[in-house]
Amino acid sequence: MTEPGTTLSQRDTGSPRERRHNAILDAAEALFLEQGYDRTSLADIVRRSGGSLATLYDLFGNKQGLLRAMATRWSEETAFCPPDPAATAAMSNVDILKSYAYRQSDAMQSPRAIALMRMLVSESVRDRDFAVGIYRDIHLPAIAELTELFTRWAAAGEADIDDPEAAAKLFLNIVFGDSMLNALAGIEEEWLGREEIDWRLRPFISHFRICQFH
């Protein structure tokens, strides 16, 4: 299963091992979404993807490893990844922050993301080590890339941020703190629209004096 902007040709590039990795992961994701994580066996995944159980174990370890790899791939697809400076020449720092918040909010409202979050929470409740691994794979990288961005802005005098890492955690909590609860409860009407995201970000932008003009 691919996201908008991810073409089959992009997935098919790389070494034979990378292509096999992606084929198994695509099959696992499709089956997890179609029939549920618990009801999908490794044999089901191998039948759909081709290859062998030995290859699956070698690449992912077990079914939890597949779920963790799915989460990591989704996180990489929706990562902040600050664009090339030339592409954002006309954007202020505020515009860049809002663009990231909008994109993440849209991504988290997708049926794929909601189903994935539910699977991750369910498995995390059953296995603390799995939960810690997901935290390290998904949450910490998001904090790190925002911390790097805020550090650059502070050094350039484009924001008054004395603790970039704390600011990164605060930003993520402001915009996405209740998204997982909404996903688990299936409360679609509580998803944040762009106006509410803007409203939530106003105190953050004002407090840290983030440049609103390029």
Give which of 187, 39, 178, 189 is closest to 122, Cα–Cα.
39
pTM (2 decimals)? 0.80
Query: What percent of the chain stands above pLDDT 90?
Result: 57
pLDDT tens readout for residues 32-62: 999 999 999 999 999 999 889 999 999 999 9
Least confident of 99-103, 123-127, 145-149: 99-103
189 has pLDDT over 60: no
Average pLDDT, the chain: 86
Question: How is residue 156 written in tokens?
Answer: 């350039």
